[in-house]
Each structure stands twice: as structure tokens, then as C-alpha cells.
Structure 1
Amino acid sequence: MKYVILHADGMAAHPRQELGGRTPLQVASTPHLDRLAQAGELGLLASSPEQHRRGSGLMGTAILGYDPKKYYQGPGPFEAASLGVAVGEQDVAYRCTMVTLRADVQPGSKGGLNEIKKLGPHVVMDDATAGLISTEEARELIEAINEQLGSEMIQFYPGLGHRHLMVWGNGKSRAVCTDPQLLVGRPIAEALPTGEGADFLWKLMDASFQILRDHPLNEERSAAGQKPANCLWLWGEGRALFWPSLSERFKMAGVVVSQSDVHRGLGIMAGLEAVDGSRLAGGDLRTQAAVALEELVKKDFAYVHVELPDEVLYGSDVAAKVKAIEAVDRELVGPLLDGLAKLGSHRIVALCDFGNVQQGQAADGPGFFAYCDSTVSPSAGAGRRFIEADAQASTVPSRDATKFIVRLFAKGS
């Protein structure tokens, strides 16, 4: 028996006016996801995001069987695990996001980047991805930051694109920090770190701005009409906790297949082997499906995580989101289901959630799932689709996300 969790991260949404009151999933053609909804069990996943911290990796933590209220600190420790950075018990790992800040244009003011003297009033979050800066460019900037701000206590580590890592040795873990995606187009003054250790974090962020705003690479980006990565935004903080291993708990070998550092790290903390990102061909969906199937020849379980491209995930083009969802269904889900059938008996749960941020607001809404067991006769779900409305209309009771994995691996269920 082979076991698969397919996590379609951030593809659920609320109805959109520009789609005639429908969601992108409803508009998209997704015959393979719909096949799962029709053949198996479709329903909602019960979770309580209001009771614990929001952030990347929250649903992944729950669906792998870990109670977020106990095991989820924030995405920072996941980033560290993925990058192979050792984090001590008293250390705090922060997501370190490269962003573009600009001056808030006031009446009689010219506005612009050079008018900012320090972080505070009249500074606006212009772009929370620094114009989707490349990994190569970002690495040069992170190295410059670490050279000037790094110490025995503070270290910066390069990641992918605009997403990076900072580790604060023996640091404070109770500061309240904000996801920069929630601030796009808004003043940052009310969202700077607060609480224990906030002053130190604020000083680091301000110092990063002083270093980056005049960096030659940013001058080149500005001259080329690109947005400069002129500040590091610290958030997603957490200490690295010990997680009981899934492999030991269920006596099986498992793997995580994801382009996301957060979800690779999540899998590593759960005791899964992580597929090297170089095997995933820069995000090619067919390659991701092929790699997952190759791993399932040798292993019992695969956690396959996929999310939409950043330019789609954080952009406002809803038609692009529809096309991206269709690509996931056509190029990842279809080949994965066909390959699983050739491997023999299997169980798969496909889940979809709202992600963290949609249209500049904290995403909210229940995740939903389709569960299929190849050894069980298909259910009578003709016409049913893998969409939010059909999951909400299902007569299947809401399932506790943290307990679903027990059912996935249960004998005879």
C-alpha cells in the first residue's frame, strides 16, 4: 500500500466578483481533482486557526498529525531545517523577507525611496517580494547584510528569491511580528515589531535599510526599472521544537516533495526525507509528479506540496490564478494519479486551503479534502467537483486535520 498527501496550498478562495460570484477553482477545469472528489470522500477539514498563530506551514503541520497549538511556532524554524541551519534550544529563527519600502507621498511632497531616513511614520510597504528578486541577486545582498550586521549572536542565511533566514542566538521569542504581505500599500508604522525584543528587531530592520538602500545592486535595479530590495523584514519567528518522527510512529519510510523551503523543512522536522530541490527542475509540475512517483517506488509515503507561482499567488490577476490551477491539475495531479494506479493499491488525500494572504488580507476559511482508497469501491459522487461549495455541501462530517493521518495509515480503513 502506498500513501500520499497532496497539499494544494492557497488554491481555495472566496467568490470573486470578476468571476461572476464564483471562485477560481469553480471556474478552472480540473478533471483529475474532480475525479478524486467523485470517487472518494469529500468534506471540510476542521481546524481552529484563531486559537494559534497564523503563518506558512500551519496546515501542513496539522495534516501531518501535529497539533499546531503545541508544535507550531512559526515558519522560521521550518526555513532553518530546510536550509540545514542548526538552531539551538534557546535560539530563535526568523523569516527574513526582502521587501521594497517607499515614502508615503504627502501633499506638497515628491515622495520616493530616497526620502526615507529611517523606518517609521510615512513609510509604506511597496512590495513584499522586492519585485520578485532573483535568488542570485538576493544572495549578494544577504551576504552584504551578514558582513555588516552578523555576529556571534545574529546570523543571516540566504534562501530562495526574496525569502531568507535570520537566527538570533539566545534570542527573545515573544515579539509580535507581521507578515509583510498583509502590509502592501499600507504604512508600516503600526506593524513594526512589538513586545519582548522588539526594539532590537526594529534596529536590525532599520540598519538593513541603511545598508541596502545605497547598495550598487539596488541602484542597478532601480536604473533598470526594477524595485529595489531595500529592507529586510523580520517575522515568522519561532524556536525549534522536537517533533516525534512520523517514520517511527507509523513504521514506514516517507518523503516530502516540495519547492517550498517551509514545507521541505516541515517534512524534515516530521522525520521525512526531503527531495533535493535540484531534482524538481525549477518548479516544473510534471517533474515534481515524476519525482514523487520515483520516490514511492522505494518508500511508503509521500507528502507532495504544491503552491501557485509567487506572481500569481500575490498578484491581482484572477484569470492567471485560474490558469495556474488548471496547470497543477493537468501537469501534476493527472500524472500522479495515473502513476499511483500503476504502483498498485494506494490511499491519497488531496487537500486545499486558503493559504496565508489573499488580496492583501489574512486568508480565512476552512480547508477541504478528497480522500480515496483504491481498494474500496468508488462512492456515488457523479457530478461532484473538488471545489469549495461542494465540500461545504457535503454530508460528510468535518474531519479533524490533525487526526487525518491516523486514518490514512490505519489498517483496513
Structure 2
Amino acid sequence: MKLLYLIADGMGDWPLDELGGKTTMEAAVTPNMDELARTGMVGLAQTVPEGMAPGSDVANMALLGFDPATYHTGRGPIEAAAQGLELGPDDLVWRLNLVTVSKLTIDGVMRDYSSGHIATEVSRPIVEQLQKKLGNETYAFYPGIQYRHLLVQKDGAQTEDAGLFINPPHDITDKSIKLDLRAFSRSPQLWDLLFEARDLLADRSFNGSRANSIWPWGQGRPLNLPDFKATFGLDGAVISAVDLIKGLGFASKMSVIDVPGATGLLDTNYEGKVDAALKFLEDHDFVFVHLEGPDECGHGGSARDKVEAISRFDARVVGPLREALKDRDAAWIVTCDHFTPIAEKTHTTDPVPFILNGPGAQESGVAEFSEKSAASTGLKLDKGHELLSFALKTFGMGA
């Protein structure tokens, strides 16, 4: 049997007046997810453990079956795993955004966590220049994708920097950066690096982007996850545009499939992801297909774009995969990692709706797939990292 795990990042939402009281899921055109929901089992899963921040790092780790309360060390270490960085056990790995702030002062405001969704071909030379000018025995800059990069602090896990709390920049769009600057100021070296980077980014000879500051956050020691196949008995792969998901795949020794043209935005290569999933399933039994678009639209505060992202996920990912496997022995898990409500422009801890469709999945009797229909069934998993095991038991699969 083939098992497909389809994730629309940040798809969950709250009712909106501009959508006539509907959520973006309810307003989207989703005949494929609705059909899977009507003929399958629907419920809610709490992917973010109590007391943990509702990030995609925590939530997707849970979706892959690993308890974040046990294994999560930070956002940066997961993305470092995607790049295959060689790290010391006490190195502190920071996720590093290129951001736009009104000014880097206590009365400054976070204008854009992504510097206008800076393109990788623009951001990479900027980070390389940061490394050339500011890299030293303590700090090393590593370019990633778009606005998402890494900063490694040698033996930083032994310092007080490991305990600094810096807000994820997407959590404070159009909000004050005062509390974060106060946190940065507790580390003299990091404070100096922040302002040296600001001054370097002001050089228009190499930086023609909207990025005017770096933003280190999500720091932690190197990540160690159990072997996915040994844990769940599945030979699987992850398919995503973002290093976060790739890092979880590498760390758990899954196959990690790169798809040309996968951007993490509305214009991503949907067909390429579908083709890659189908090709992998020819000789293997599990694929985790992740789509970032709904989350980015949620952070942008655009209900129209988020509705479109969810509709495209249904029409260009779920639909083609169902059609290609309609005569095959296949089971389905469809969900999101967390909510990214338009009203908040960031993640929340709401339990996420999920579908299980396959052998042993009793019909829940819902008419469509939505937050409301999932809540109506009474099925709720309080530990989101148990969703995969619950699905495997339901389908009669796995170890």
C-alpha cells in the first residue's frame, strides 16, 4: 500500500467578515479534499504541545511522528540539517532572516520578515558578503533559500545566548522590535554583529534589495532525530520547497527530493511536486508532500491569496495524485501543520483538522473538509505527534 501525507502549511484559519463569515478553507474550492473527507475519517490534532511556540518547526516535527517536547532544539538546527552542515555538539545554530525594519532602534518596527520575498539569486550574494566581511572565529553565515539563512555561533550553546528569546520576525509584522532589541543587547557580540550587518547592508553597491537588517532567531544545538524507517517501518521521502521540511527529512534519514521551480509561494511548481511524488512511490511506500503557499499568504494577511493557495493545493496537488492512484492501493492523510489566521498574520496553537482516508478509516459523516467539520466529529488527538501512528494503525500499515 502507498501512503500519501499531504500538508498545506498554515491552511487553518478563523471566520472572516470579508468571506461572509467563512474561513479560507470553507471559501476555497476543494472538491478533492471534500470527497476524501466525506468518505473518510475526520478529526483534530493538537500539533503544538502546551508551552511550545506554534512554529512550522514544532508542528511539522509532530506531523512526522516525533514528539517536539523530546526532540526539538530550535528552528535553526533543523534547517542546518537540510544543508548538511558539520556542527560541533555545543554550536548554537540560529535561523537568520534578511528583513526590512523601519529602523534598527527601540522605536523601530518590523516592516517585512522576508524583505519582499527576496529571491535566492539576490539573497545568496548578500549572505556571502556578510560572511566575507563579518564572519569570524565565533560567527559563520550560511546562505539558504530566499530570505531564510543560517548563522552558526561556535560553542554558543555554552553561553547565555542560548537562552535569549527573539521573536520570529513573521510574528511581529508591523509591530515594535523594542523587546527584541533589548534581548539582543544582552549579548554584546550579537549586538555588535547586528549593527555591523545593518551598516554593511546599507552599501548599495552589493545590496539592491529591501533587506536592511539581519534577524537571528530560533537558535539551538544540533538536531538529532530517530531513523524514520526504523521507527515507523516506512521507506519514505519528503518533498518541499523549504529547508525546514528538508532538514526534518535529512535528520530522520528519509529521502529528500528537490523539485526545480518549487518556491514556497503561490507560483510554486505544483506539477513538479506531484510528478516527484508519483515517481518515488513507484518503488517506495510513503511520501510527505508539503506546500508552503497558504502559510505565506496568511502571513501576508491576504484572504484572497490564501483562498487561492488552498484551492490550488486541492486542484493541482490532491486532485492529480488521486487521479493517478485511483486504481492503486493507496491511503491518505491530509492536514495542515498549524493555523495561520489572516487576522493574526502569524501562527496559532489551534488544533488542526485532518483527514484519514483508506482501509479501516470509518466515515465520519461530514459533508466537507473544514475546521468546523473536523471539530464536529468529536475525534481529537491531544498529542499531534501520535497522528501518524494513529493513521498507520487505522490503515494496518507500518512497523
Answer whether TM exceeds 0.5 for this pair.
yes
Q: Is the 8 A contact 1:43 1:399 kept in 2?
A: no
> What residue is the counterpart of 2:22 in the other structure?
22
The one-letter amino acid paired with 1:393 is S
164, 188, 192: which one pairs with 1:175? 164
279, 295, 317: which one pairs with 1:294? 279
SS in 1 for 2:224: coil
> What residue is the counterpart of 1:81 in the other structure?
81
Q: Which runs of 5+ in 1 are unaligned?
A: 104-118, 222-227
> What residue is the counterpart of 1:391 in the other structure?
374
Between 193-202 and 347-356, report the one with greater CA deviation. 193-202
SS in 1 for 2:102: strand
Distance 1:91 1:355, change over 3 A: farther
CA separation in 1, counterparts of 2:179 and 2:306? 31
CA separation in 2, counterparts of 1:131 and 1:377? 43
> What residue is the counterpart of 2:235 in the other structure?
253
> What residue is the counterpart of 1:54 in the other structure?
54
Distance 1:273 1:197, change over 3 A: farther
Between 276-285 and 266-275, report the one with greater CA deviation. 276-285
Q: CA RMSD in A?
A: 2.3
Residues 97-116 of structure 1 aligned to structure 2 (within 5 Å): 97-103=97-103
The one-letter amino acid paired with 2:374 is A
The one-letter amino acid paired with 1:78 is I
- Please report how far the alpha carbon of residue 185 of structure 1 lies from its aligned counterpart in structure 2 after TM superposition: 1.7
Between 352-361 and 388-397, report the one with greater CA deviation. 352-361
166, 190, 204: which one pairs with 1:215? 204
Kindly, what percent of the aligned residue pairs are identical?
Answer: 32
CA separation in 2, counterparts of 1:49 and 1:376? 28
Residues 123-134 of structure 1 aligned to structure 2 (within 5 Å): 123-134=108-119
- Please report how far the alpha carbon of residue 89 of structure 1 lies from its aligned counterpart in structure 2 after TM superposition: 1.3
Residues 365-376 of structure 1 aligned to structure 2 (within 5 Å): 365-373=350-358, 375-376=359-360
Q: Is the 8 A contact 1:78 1:265 kept in 2?
A: yes
- Please report how far the alpha carbon of residue 376 of structure 1 lies from its aligned counterpart in structure 2 after TM superposition: 4.4
The one-letter amino acid paired with 2:116 is G
- Please report how far the alpha carbon of residue 399 of structure 1 lies from its aligned counterpart in structure 2 after TM superposition: 5.5
- Please report how far the alpha carbon of residue 346 of structure 1 lies from its aligned counterpart in structure 2 after TM superposition: 2.2
CA separation in 2, counterparts of 1:333 and 1:273? 21
183, 192, 200: which one pairs with 1:203? 192
The one-letter amino acid paired with 2:94 is Y
- Please report how far the alpha carbon of residue 317 of structure 1 lies from its aligned counterpart in structure 2 after TM superposition: 2.4
The one-letter amino acid paired with 1:159 is G
The one-letter amino acid paired with 2:238 is V
SS in 1 for 2:163: coil
> What residue is the counterpart of 1:115 in the other structure?
none
- Please report how far the alpha carbon of residue 142 of structure 1 lies from its aligned counterpart in structure 2 after TM superposition: 0.6
Between 270-279 and 152-161, report the one with greater CA deviation. 270-279
- Tell which structure's C-alpha radius of gyration is larger: 1
CA separation in 1, counterparts of 2:314 and 2:182? 39
Q: After superposition, what is the alpha-carbon deviation per residue over 1:17-36, rounded to whole angstroms, capped at 9, x for unaligned?
A: 11111101101110011111
> What residue is the counterpart of 2:38 in the other structure?
38
CA separation in 1, counterparts of 2:163 and 2:364? 50
Q: Is the 8 A contact 1:133 1:161 kept in 2?
A: yes
Are residues 1:304 and 2:293 paired? Answer: no
Q: Is the 8 A contact 1:348 1:372 kept in 2?
A: yes
Distance 1:51 1:377, change over 3 A: closer
CA separation in 2, counterparts of 1:309 and 1:369? 16
> What residue is the counterpart of 1:270 in the other structure?
252
Distance 1:361 1:292, change over 3 A: closer
- Please report how far the alpha carbon of residue 294 of structure 1 lies from its aligned counterpart in structure 2 after TM superposition: 0.7
CA separation in 1, counterparts of 2:173 and 2:353? 28
> What residue is the counterpart of 2:396 in the other structure?
412
Q: Which runs of 5+ in 2 are unaligned?
A: none
Q: After superposition, what is the alpha-carbon deviation per residue over 1:99-134, rounded to whole angstroms, capped at 9, x for unaligned?
A: 11224xxxxxxxxxxxxxxx3222221211111111
- Please report how far the alpha carbon of residue 314 of structure 1 lies from its aligned counterpart in structure 2 after TM superposition: 2.5
SS in 2 for 1:330: helix
- Please report how far the alpha carbon of residue 378 of structure 1 lies from its aligned counterpart in structure 2 after TM superposition: 6.4
Q: After superposition, what is the alpha-carbon deviation per residue over 1:278-305, rounded to whole angstroms, capped at 9, x for unaligned?
A: 3758821122111111101111111111
CA separation in 2, counterparts of 1:177 and 1:161? 21
Distance 1:35 1:284, change over 3 A: same
Q: After superposition, what is the alpha-carbon deviation per residue over 1:60-97, rounded to whole angstroms, capped at 9, x for unaligned?
A: 11121111111112221111111222222111111110
> What residue is the counterpart of 2:309 in the other structure?
324
The one-letter amino acid paired with 1:184 is T
* Dislocated runs of 4+, deviation >4 Å: 279-282, 355-358
Distance 1:165 1:204, change over 3 A: same
The one-letter amino acid paired with 1:153 is T
CA separation in 2, counterparts of 1:212 and 1:357? 32
299, 320, 328: which one pairs with 1:314? 299
Q: Is the 8 A contact 1:10 1:356 kept in 2?
A: yes
Give the paired residue count.
388
> What residue is the counterpart of 1:239 in the other structure?
221
> What residue is the counterpart of 2:181 in the other structure?
192
Q: After superposition, what is the alpha-carbon deviation per residue over 1:219-276, rounded to whole angstroms, capped at 9, x for unaligned?
A: x45xxxxxx2111101111112321101122333111111111011111112211002
Q: After superposition, what is the alpha-carbon deviation per residue over 1:322-344, rounded to whole angstroms, capped at 9, x for unaligned?
A: 112111100001011222334x2
The one-letter amino acid paired with 1:389 is K
Q: Is the 8 A contact 1:181 1:357 kept in 2?
A: no
- Please report how far the alpha carbon of residue 355 of structure 1 lies from its aligned counterpart in structure 2 after TM superposition: 4.5
Between 133-142 and 249-258, report the one with greater CA deviation. 249-258
CA separation in 1, counterparts of 2:95 and 2:390? 33
> What residue is the counterpart of 2:70 in the other structure?
70
